[in-house]
Amino acid sequence: MVQTAQRDSAPRSMRPVAVAIGLLILIVLAFVARRLSVDVPNVSAGTTPDDPFSVRYVEHPWRAYLHIAPGVVYLLGAPFQLSRRFRTRHYTIHRRMGRVLLSCALLSGTFALVFGIPFAWGGGLEASATVVFGAWFVACLVLAFRAIRGDNVPQHRRWMIRAFAVGVGIGTIRIWVGIFEGIEQTRSGGTTPATPDHTMFGVAFWLAFTMHVLIGEWWLRRTPALDG
């Protein structure tokens, strides 16, 4: 009876989580759209943008977009994969999508390291966060794959939730950057900085990813009877 009550309350408890995840994904999509609007014209014309923040994307587009493009595919598909309703109603699609999304996530995570470490705008702070949380993201995916190969579905889902918690943290980074820019704007008397501050950007990485790892663990402990 207790387990049934917990399952019945799941849709209500998931609504705020779904809204928050949706907003974070929209933030990521907005950032990607902005990147494309700057990068594509410059790469096509062979020019360098005036914005120093954008130069690394234009000068190293393959590294950047082998991280960004599969990462977007993963973030758009992962919420469906983690939905119990979608999984039970469309199990065959769930399995096929899982193979594609896992591959996209591994590719994106690998190139997060390849691009993010040598071209970290936030310097050592961002690079160190990229190493720690990028490695954790990839490890979670590998352990999720290992679990499903061993037919351990609950552990598979738990590791995939941990990976997704880190992946969607990209949106929270943008929120923290916006907060820091707002603080800087207030201090400077209303002048918006042309590009994000290096230290601020690195701090945003650590804050966002640490929050998401902790929230992911909290969620797994809070809903052990709901299969993730």
Tokens read off for 134:
């990028």
The residue assigned the tokens 């950057």 is 177
Q: What is the pLDDT of residue 195?
A: 61
**DSSP-derived 3-state class of residue 188:** coil
pLDDT, position 57: 96
Amino acid identity for residue 87 in this structure: R
For the purposes of burial, counting CB atoms within 10 Å of the CB of 118, is it exposed (0-12), middle (13-18) or buried (19 or more)?
Answer: exposed
Q: In angstroms, what CA-CA distances link 202 with 27, 106, 227?
A: 19, 23, 35
130 Cβ contact list (under 8 Å, min separation 6): 112, 113, 116, 117, 120, 205
Containing domain of residue 186, as a range?
Answer: 13-226
Instruction: Flag residues of the chain having pLDDT under 50.
Output: 1-9, 228
The residue type at 139: A
Determine the 3-state secondary structure of 159 from DSSP: helix
Q: Is 181 helix (H, G, I), strand (E, B) or coil?
A: helix
In a domain, 2, yes or no: no
User: Is 143 among the domain residues?
Assistant: yes
Is 6 part of any domain?
no
Q: Is residue 34 part of a domain?
A: yes
Query: What are the C-alpha distances in Å from 15 to residues 19, 193, 208, 215?
Result: 6, 36, 22, 16
Two structure tokens written together for 197: 């501050």
**Contact in structure between 168 and 212 (CB atoms under 8 Å):** yes
Q: What is the pLDDT of residue 187?
A: 77
Q: 7 lies in a domain?
A: no
Q: What is the model's pLDDT at position 2? A: 43
Question: How many domains are contained in the chain?
Answer: 1
pLDDT of residue 223: 76
- For 125-169, the pLDDT digits (tens) are 999 999 999 999 999 999 999 999 999 999 999 999 999 999 999
Kindly report the pTM of this predicted structure. 0.88
Helices (H), 82-197: 84-89, 91-116, 123-149, 153-167, 169-187
The predicted pLDDT at position 4 comes to 47
Tell me whether residue 5 is in a domain: no
What pLDDT is stored for residue 3 in this prediction?
45
CA dist 79 and 211 (Å) reads 19
Determine the pLDDT at residue 12: 61
